[in-house]
Structure 1
Amino acid sequence: MLMGVDPHLLRTFVTVVREGSFSAAADRLGYTQPAVSQQIAALEADLGVPLLLRRPVRPTRAGERLLEHAGPLLLRLRAARADVARVVAESHVVTVAASPLAVTPGTAAALARAAAVPAPEASAGSPGAAGTVTVRTADPGAAVALAASGEADLALVDGPAAPSDPLALPDVGPLTSSGVGEEPLVVVLPEGHPLAGRPGLRLDALADALWVDAPGVLPLDRLRAVARIDGFRTGLRYEGHDVATLARLAAAGHGLALLPRSAAACGAAVPLAWPRLVHRIEVLHGSLPDGPARRVVHALTAR
C-alpha cells in the first residue's frame, strides 16, 4: 500500500503528529501552514482514508497504523541515501554513536588504535593517513537509530544481558551486530551501608530499595524488564549521561545503581549474585566499504 507514497508527504504527516499542530509542523519543516495542509490532504487522497482529526490534531485509527510504518520507512530511506553516499565518499572521519556505559577504557583504547592506523592507500604524512573518530553520546535506542539512518557510521551500545545473549535492541533495519565484550555487574551503594560487606547481592532482595533512575545511562524500566522484577523505586532521577556522576550519586546515598565493575569508581561495589546478568557491549553497523569505519569495527571486536 505504501510503495507509491511520496516520502515528503509521509515526513510531513509524521511531523504534524509529533508536533501536535499544523503550524508547529510548518515551522519545523520550513513550510507555510497552507502548504502543510495541502500535503496532508494529498496524502489522505492518495491513501483514500482520513489520517488526522483536526481539532485537536491527532491521528485517526488509519493514521495510527500509518504512523507505525512511517518511522521505519523514513529511516530506511535515510539509511539507503547514507549507504549510497558512503560508497563514493572519501571521508576519513568515523562517527560513533555510543551509549555512555559502552565507552569503557577498553573500547576507548580500541577507538584510539583504529584512528592511528594509516589508510592503506595514503602515503605517510599525507592528509587522511589516519582516521578521525568522533564519538556522539546517545542512549542505546537512539544510538542504533543514528547508525540505521546513516547519521552515524557505527553504534556502540551496551546493556545488561544474560552471558553470551545479544542485547534486546529496537528493530530499525538490517544492521550487523557483533559482540565487543562483557564484564560483571556490581551494585553501587555508600561505604558503610549495611549491605556493603556482602559477597553478593540479589536484585529481588533490593526491589523495595530506592534507586537512582538514570534514563540516559541505565533506566529503571530496562532493569525491571531484564531482571523480570517489579519494584526498584526511584530515590533520585539523574538526566545526564556522565557515568562517574551516577556512581557518585549512588555512593552518596541517593539510591542504588547497577554498573559494570570498571565504572564503579567510588562507594562500595558489591557483585551481582542474581539474576545471572553481565554488562554487554555490542557494535552495530550497516554495510561498510573498506576504510576507517571497518577498521574501527575490527579494532573493537578483536579479542
Structure 2
Amino acid sequence: MDPHLLTTFVTVARHGSFSAAASELGYTQSAISQQIAALEADLGLPLLRRRPVEPTPAGRRLLEHAEPLLLRLRAARADVLRTAAGPRHLLRLAATPLAVNPAVAARLARARARMPRLEVRLRTCRAERLAALVAEGHADLGLADGIAAPSDPLRLPDAGPMTTAGVTEEDLVVVLPSGHPLAGRASLRLADLIDARWLQTPLCPLARLRDLVGDGFPAGLAYEGDDVHTVLALAAAGHGLTLLPASAVPGGGITAVPVAAPRLVHRVELLHAALPPGAAAALAAALTLRPDTQDLERGIKDRSV
C-alpha cells in the first residue's frame, strides 16, 4: 500500500471530511477523493462511507494498522537524519506533565551547569504523544511518567526502536480533602477505596487503577486537562479522590495519605532513539545516574532502574 494514500485515508477518517483533509494536506477535494478511491481499488474493499464520512468495518481495521505504520516510517526517516546530523547545542526535551519532579529538575540543572552552552527547550505533552515526538525527531529526549509496580517498565506506545531507562520511582499518595473521614489515616489500601468517587484525569487514569487493583473506582468528575493545580483544587473541594506522586502535593487544604497496598510507585522513564555522541547523549546519561544525597533530602525516594 502506498504510504501517501494511507496518510490521506487516516486524515480523512480523523476529520470525518474530505474537504478538511484536502485543506490540511494541500490537495484539492477531487484529488483526495481520487486517492481514497485508489486505495479502495487496491484493497478491493470500501473503506469510507460518504454520508456521513466515517470508516467502514474494513476501514476501522485498516486504521489500526495505518497509524502505527506511518509512525514507523516517520521514525525511520528521523533516525537516518539524526545519525547524519552534526553536534548541536540546542536540545529538545519532551515530558509528560508529572515527569519533571524535583529530582529530575535537579539533575537537569547539574547537567546544564556542566554544559553552559547548552540551550534546552522543554515541552509537555500527553503520554500517547510523547513516543511519537521522540521517534519522529521533534524531541531529542522524552521523559514519561505513570503508575507502575516497583521496577516494572511503563506501558509506552510502540514507536519503533527506542531505548528506555528508569529515572525515578516515587511513593504515591491518595489526595483527599482535609475534612475527609480517612484524612487521619497513616496509610490507605486502594482496595478499600474502590467504591469512593474518584477524579478521572490524564494524571491518574482510572482504567490504569482498575488494571492494577480491580474493578470499581467510579468517576465523580472528569477533568480532561493535565494541570496539577486544577486537579488539587478539585480534590480539595471534594469532587473526588486522586492518586499523585508525593512531591506533587504541597498541602494547604489537601491531605495526602501514603498508599499501603498494593505496592505501587510513580515511575519516570527516559526514552530516546539512537544518540550520537554529544549533548543529548550526555544529558541522557546524567538523567539516569543514581541520585545523590541532595535529591534524597528533597523527600523523593527515587531509584535508577
TM-score of the aligned structures, taking structure 2 as reference length: 0.88
Structure 2: runs of 5+ lacking an equivalent: 291-305
Which residue matches 2:17?
A: 21
Show the 5 A alignment for 1:109-124.
109-118=106-115
Which residue matches 1:57?
A: 53
Query: Which of 63, 85, 91 is the aligned partner of 1:67?
Result: 63
Which residue matches 2:205?
A: 219
For the pair 1:251 / 2:236, whether they are aligned, the reply is yes
CA contact (8 A) 1:114 1:292 kept: no
Which residue matches 1:282?
A: 269
Structure 1: runs of 5+ lacking an equivalent: 119-128
Which residue matches 1:151?
A: 138
Q: Which runs of 4+ in 1 moved over 6 A?
A: none
CA contact (8 A) 1:201 1:272 kept: yes
CA contact (8 A) 1:211 1:234 kept: yes
Give the Cα–Cα distance (whole angstroms) in 2 for the partners of residues 61 and 249 of structure 1.
40
Q: CA deviation at 1:196?
A: 1.3
CA contact (8 A) 1:203 1:275 kept: yes
With over 3 angstroms needed to count, the CA separation of the structure-2 counterparts of 1:239 and 1:68, relative to structure 1, is: closer
Q: CA deviation at 1:28?
A: 1.8
Q: CA deviation at 1:147?
A: 1.5
Which residue matches 2:96?
A: 99
Which residue matches 1:125?
A: none
For the pair 1:133 / 2:120, whether they are aligned, the reply is yes
With over 3 angstroms needed to count, the CA separation of the structure-2 counterparts of 1:238 and 1:53, relative to structure 1, is: closer
Which residue matches 2:194?
A: 207
Q: Give the % identical residues.
A: 64
When structure 1 is superposed on structure 2, of 251-260 and 25-34 the one drifting more is 251-260
CA RMSD of aligned residues (A): 1.8
Q: After superposition, what is the alpha-carbon deviation per residue over 1:164-207, rounded to whole angstroms, capped at 9, x for unaligned?
A: 11112222222111000101111111223221111211112111
Q: After superposition, what is the alpha-carbon deviation per residue over 1:117-164, rounded to whole angstroms, capped at 9, x for unaligned?
A: 33xxxxxxxxxx622222211122221222222222222111111111
Q: CA deviation at 1:270?
A: 0.7
SS of the equivalent of 1:272 reads strand
SS of the equivalent of 1:258 reads strand
TM-score of the aligned structures, taking structure 1 as reference length: 0.88
Q: CA deviation at 1:255?
A: 1.6
AA partner of residue 114 (structure 1): A
Q: CA deviation at 1:112?
A: 2.5
